[in-house]
Amino acid sequence: MNAADLGLPVDVPSTALFTDQYELTMLQAALRGGTADRRSVFEVFTRRLPEGRRYGVVAGTGRVLDAVENFRFDAGVLGFLRERGIVDEPTLAWLADYRFGGDVWGYPEGEVYFPGSPILRVEGSFAECVLLETVILSILNHDSAIAAAASRMSAAAGDRRLIEMGARRTHELSAVAAARAAYVGGFSSTSDLAAGFRYGIPTVGTSAHAFTLLHDTERDAFRAQVESLGRGTTLLVDTYDVAEAVRTAVEIAGPELGAVRIDSGDLLLVAHRVRQQLDDLGAHDTRIVVTSDLDEYAIASLAAAPVDAYGVGTQLVTGSGHPTCSMVYKLVARSESADPKAPLRSVAKKSLGGKMSVGGRKWAARRVDADGVAEAEVIGTGPVPAELADRQLLVELVKGGEVVAREPLDAARERHMAALAGLPMSAIQLSRGEAVIPTEYL
């Protein structure tokens, strides 16, 4: 299930003000100067991966499609712009009828990317494309950062389940987007009900320390929870004494106890002790869930521990140290007139300090070796070599203003797993390194 299946709008009446003022002032100047209708090509890419990362993960594409569809200047928005004097009346009149009518191509959600990859290509008039810059970047930079962190955590966790539980550590709307991106990156569930409602992500949750502290004894708390939620529930066992709590939990719920959760202490040591105690008490199938400010390194350090699932919050929703991907949205080609038949001309920024861009409307393909393992990200502006024709990465997302590539969120999740499996094995190493494959330009 996805947002389209639920028939839900975006979380605000319009996405039109999810932008920077200079998008509108550029529009006004272009309308007055007669260049607003020039056919243009914008591309989203990043010049480098976050330090130490070996690949990036495309996430947020579905949210971008929603945002483009809901980019509308209604009466309230136009009134705000008029009151502030942000643009003139001719521009307001143009905005009143705004509907994106161009084309969008991009890497499908869940795919991996590398420096220079044309992650998204937006084509149409300059006027209609330039307005989308900020909202597209805000979604892709945030969601792709979370998905990349989730992917690394998933690789570290192996076959063990990952639970997203970071809603209380970020903005309430960011929390929903983060849960979605984490699911794409390999997490299996979320504690955030808004994410479950909006995107159909499985939700989980039982109790916190406050529930235990509410009761006169831990025994009373456990009994109340088991009577309400059943023997398959997860009991939090580190409020007081862990060993005593485990003993009480099994006594009340029996060997059918679903799981125990550990949220503090030396997780490696405590998990081993709890597993041994559960087995001694006959609760061989009772699972162990650990939480407590985990990141991919902490998860990897617990690989030898008898842990069945990890709950991750702060480090996930902040991108595990890299909360953005530094993606940019650049004009790479434009026509010399408003004539739709006018040829495109490559344009590019030339700058010192590593902020140059490569002009031209680009394609991208991933070259693989004889074993089917990726060996290079190939990017070009001319004809696609025959040997790469069936390895192209960009797919059509919007055609003539109509979304043509909506898909269930599970499709993006599965695509990411397949894309990651096609990279060299060193891609999932947590040690710092460069991009796992090079970017080549033709």
- Number of neighbours of residue 122 by Cβ within 10 angstroms: 27
Q: Quick one: pLDDT at residue 1?
A: 42
Decide: 358 and 71 in contact? Cβ < 8 Å: no
Sheet containing strand 439-441, strands side by side: 363-368, 374-380, 439-441
Q: Quick one: pLDDT at residue 340?
A: 84
Q: Which residues of the chain have pLDDT under 70?
A: 1-13, 352-354
Q: What are phi and psi of 173, to 5 degrees?
A: -80, -35
pLDDT averaged over the chain?
Answer: 95
Q: Which residues contact 190 (CB under 8 A, 6 or more apart)?
A: 163, 164, 165, 167, 179, 182, 183, 196, 201, 202, 203, 204
Q: Quick one: pLDDT at residue 2?
A: 47
3-state secondary structure of 127: helix
Among the listed residues 161, 154, 127, the one whose alpha carbon sits nearest the alpha carbon of residue 34: 127
Its pTM stands at 0.94
Model confidence over 338-375: pLDDT tens digits? 888 899 999 998 876 667 788 999 999 999 999 999 99
Q: Quick one: pLDDT at residue 354?
A: 67
